Amino acid sequence: MSEVKIKELRSDIDELNELLKLSKRKKIQDILSLEIRKLETEWINLKETENASTPMDTTLAPTTSTSAQKKYQIKLNGYGWDQSDKYIQVFVTLKNVHTVPKDQVYCKLTDRSMELHIDNLDNKDYLLVINKLLEPINIAESHWKQKTDRVVIFLAKSRPNVKWSHMTEIEKKFEDQRNNRFKTDDSEKKDPQESIMSLMKNMYETGDDDMKRMISKAWYEGQHKKKTDTLDL
């Protein structure tokens, strides 16, 4: 299932990149770039999980248990992150995680990777792996906290005040490759309006409030510019 999902995401990203190359208005380019980045993050997380998985690649993998009831390990893909001058903060949402004893919620860290382990939550073990961090971290000053329905990991930056553009090297690599491709690729001249408008409609119908506001603003400004151009003529 994950392999099929990875292929579908890659196809979606490639098609969005083609539309981005054809688009002319900055607002449209910003919206397409945002959607591409979201899909690429999801694609990268799935790829990392696929590469790190055992030969038995299932969402629920039985783990060793001394009891008659089997425990399962669930590999987590989703997380949020933010940063301050000193820390990269990783947010993992998981219902009832605050009820797990503290010694069963822990991280294994290296200077360029982190693993979050949550053991025996409703008879399941949870694992989040993030490899190839963009910058090295200070393991001794890193820590984590359990909060209501979530865990927050504080990864201390080895170089405080250095802003991370991405969470991992892989994400930055794909972003750089995409930007370089746009600079060097001399695409064919053709009218992109029909494909872009169809995509924008779909993104508006399925997007969140911020996405809808961006699309509405871009549409309004585009229509206003058309009227102004006509009056000038």
pLDDT at site 28? 82
Measured from the Cβ of residue 148, the count of other Cβ atoms closer than 10 Å reads: 9
Core vs surface per residue 161-181: b (16+ CB within 10 A) or e: eeebebbbebbeebbeebeee
Residue 70 has pLDDT above 90, yes or no: no
pTM: 0.52
> Which CATH code of 2.60.40.1190, 2.40.37.10, 2.70.50.60, 2.60.40.790 fits the domain covering 58-159?
2.60.40.790
pLDDT at site 30? 76
Q: Which residue has the tokens 């790829």?
A: 47
Residue 54 has pLDDT above 90, yes or no: no
Model pLDDT for residues 138-157, shown as the tens digit of each residue: 999 999 999 999 999 999 99
Model pLDDT for residues 78-120, shown as the tens digit of each residue: 889 999 999 999 999 999 999 999 999 999 999 999 999 999 9
pLDDT at site 46? 75
Strand order, beta sheet including 87-93: 80-83, 87-93, 150-157, 137-147
Helix locations, the chain, DSSP H? 2-22, 26-52, 169-184, 193-206, 209-232
Residue of 120, 121, 101, 117 lying closest to 109 (CA atoms): 117
Would you say how long the chain is, in residues?
Answer: 233
pLDDT at site 133? 95
What percentage of residues in the chain have a pLDDT greater than 90? 38
Residue of 204, 91, 232 lying closest to 150 (CA atoms): 91
Mean pLDDT is lowest, of 15-19, 142-146, 177-181, for 177-181
Task: List every span in the chain annotated with CATH 2.60.40.790.
Answer: 58-159
